[in-house]
Structure 1
Amino acid sequence: MDLVRLLNWKVILEILILWIVIYRIFLFLKGTKAVYLLRGIIILVISLLLFQMFGLPVLTRILTYLFAFFLILIVIIFQPELREGLTRLGQRHIFHIELKKEDIEKSLREIVSGVGVLSRKKIGALIAIKREMGLKKFIESGLIVNAELSSELLQNIFYPSAPLHDGGVIVEGTKIVATSCLFPLSDNPGLGRTLGMRHRAAVGLSENTDALVIIVSEENGFISLAINGQLTRNLTPNDLFTILKGQLTKP
């Protein structure tokens, strides 16, 4: 009886570990064609565990071979998606210092206040808020300032005649880390031809990192936000604050 109980706990532990691994892989491949093949692998894994639990050695052996075949197939066919996923995993900080909720809200109010003014004045802006993933190469593409974050400073940076208004600003915690940064342009055909360089740069950075990227259009003053390659447009300052707070204060 003790052996049976131990075996059951082992099976449960295996299922839990596999589920966590598959879920993380799914998050990395979400939005790509590789996710459809991953669903097939999930079915294989569940079937394999069930066959092991019910003691069906022949079917277990067959599915084990199929599982190995699908893993090799993923590596061969979906190299770009896997490379991007591993890159994003490698960019995550092992030791991530969490800000207090009060500090997060204070920083967000400064950002949203500045964005609101820029929106009313129809001054273009591009602001990336760092989360867990490192933005070192993007920071190094601009001018490192490490200045205290404030609404006024953001407005001054993006003022059309200011020397630092081109490129994007990177914010980390309560600091403006760098200005005039270069972000990668998205080649997503679904964005349409009407979007300008700022919007494509915002989506591009959000595709490659977990940063939250704010855009203010200089044509109409509309506020947009890019998260994980998805662009939400025509936000009010209140909408922007609510979404940012929800993203940055997740439990």
Structure 2
Amino acid sequence: MQNILSSLLTWSTVTNLIDIAVVWWVLYRLIMLLRGTKAVQLFRGVLVIAVIRIIAWYLQLRSVAFIIDQVINWSVVAIVIIFQPEIRRGLEHIGRGSFFRHNRDSAREQEVRMVREIDTAVQYMSKRRIGALITIQKNTGLEDYIETGIKMDAEITGALLINTFIPNTPLHDGAVIIRDNRIAVAAAYLPLSESSAIPKNLGTRHRAAVGISEVTDAVTVVVSEETGGVTITNNNNLMIDLSREDYLKFLNAQLVSPEEEPGNPYREFFENIFKRGAKK
């Protein structure tokens, strides 16, 4: 037994284990980085091509195999082009050190602070009927829409959000997009929904909020310029004129990581609201 253990606990075995662990960890972080983005769908397409190539090899389909081989030969260039937003996002994470450092408690504190600062801004603007449109990225990347805005890359504060939406200022028209607990851009353009189910009394901000919720899982907060009412959209659901208590419950349920248990008591509450007809 001692001989067996000594033969296993060699430097070569240790380095191999370290090698496997590092590769596993890097792949895991890459999967977590791409989770929920458009890149996942593209990656599935790559897997389909690989499966077709295996089938062509097994069935001796030479023409199909030749075509697939050409596709694979150019795949490196194609992947760089197709996954450019995700590659840039990953490099940004590495530059900030977040790719190698993951502190759940610290992340949760940032999420709690983000909700608190958004609440401060919403309360101020709602009382004064200052129109606002704030979109918070979740799993689906918003790079296409971030590129339309003016870059800020700033810490989230209520004062900054309020100042951004003050009427007749350069950044007030458009959406503020929050990504990774930071204000990424202001004055961004969101897709307008063409749904006929949206009430006619709602304006462009609300249509933009519904539009982004139709194509991503982002949470969007709207402050009405006409009434001061607070509206939230998420996953093609529209919740109009929420009280402060209700929108805080929703934001905490959607944006703040659970402290201990993975479940969140507010999720079921709002899912039931949606089912009862919160979708307008």
If the length of structure 2 is used for normalisation, what is the TM-score?
Answer: 0.54
Q: 1:136 aligns with which of 139, 143, 146?
A: 143
1:166 aligns with 2:173: yes
Instruction: Determine helix, strand or coil for the equivalent of 2:197.
Output: helix
1:218 aligns with 2:225: yes
| Corresponding residue for residue 186 of structure 2 | 179
2: distance between equivalents of 1:240 and 1:113?
A: 12
Deviations 1:57-82 (A, max 9, x none): xxxxxxxxxxxxxxxxxxxxxxxxxx
Deviation at residue 239 of structure 1 after TM alignment: 1.8
Task: Check the 8 A contact 1:107/1:173 in 2, yes or no.
Answer: no
Task: Check the 8 A contact 1:129/1:171 in 2, yes or no.
Answer: yes
Q: How does 1:148-167 map to 2 (within 5 A)?
A: 148-167=155-174
Task: Check the 8 A contact 1:111/1:151 in 2, yes or no.
Answer: yes
Gaps of 5+ in 2: 1-35, 37-84, 94-98, 263-280
Percentage identity across paired residues of the two chains: 38
2: distance between equivalents of 1:162 and 1:195?
A: 23
Q: 1:246 aligns with which of 240, 253, 268?
A: 253
| Corresponding residue for residue 154 of structure 2 | 147
1: distance between equivalents of 2:228 and 2:201?
A: 15
The aligned amino acid for 2:251 is L
Moved more, 177-186 or 165-174: 165-174
| Corresponding residue for residue 100 of structure 1 | 107
Deviations 1:76-108 (A, max 9, x none): xxxxxxxxxxxxxx98x9999776222111110
Deviations 1:98-136 (A, max 9, x none): 762221111100011101100001000000001111100
1:198 aligns with 2:200: no
2: distance between equivalents of 1:191 and 1:116?
A: 24
| Corresponding residue for residue 195 of structure 2 | 188
Gaps of 5+ in 1: 1-23, 25-89
Deviations 1:179-229 (A, max 9, x none): 000000111111132211000000000111010000000001000000111
1:235 aligns with 2:248: no
- Over the aligned positions, Cα root-mean-square deviation in angstroms equals 2.3
The aligned amino acid for 2:210 is V
The aligned amino acid for 1:119 is S
2: distance between equivalents of 1:150 and 1:192?
A: 32
Q: How does 1:27-106 map to 2 (within 5 A)?
A: 100-106=107-113
Instruction: Determine helix, strand or coil for the equivalent of 2:240.
Output: strand
Deviations 1:43-68 (A, max 9, x none): xxxxxxxxxxxxxxxxxxxxxxxxxx
Query: What is the total number of aligned residue pairs between the two structures?
Result: 162
Task: Check the 8 A contact 1:169/1:180 in 2, yes or no.
Answer: yes
Deviation at residue 174 of structure 1 after TM alignment: 2.6
1: distance between equivalents of 2:107 and 2:158?
A: 20
Runs of 4+ in structure 1 deviating by more than 4 angstroms, as ranges, are 93-99
The aligned amino acid for 1:135 is L
The aligned amino acid for 1:143 is I
Task: Check the 8 A contact 1:104/1:173 in 2, yes or no.
Answer: no
If the length of structure 1 is used for normalisation, what is the TM-score?
Answer: 0.60
The aligned amino acid for 1:154 is L
Task: Check the 8 A contact 1:115/1:237 in 2, yes or no.
Answer: no
| Corresponding residue for residue 36 of structure 1 | none
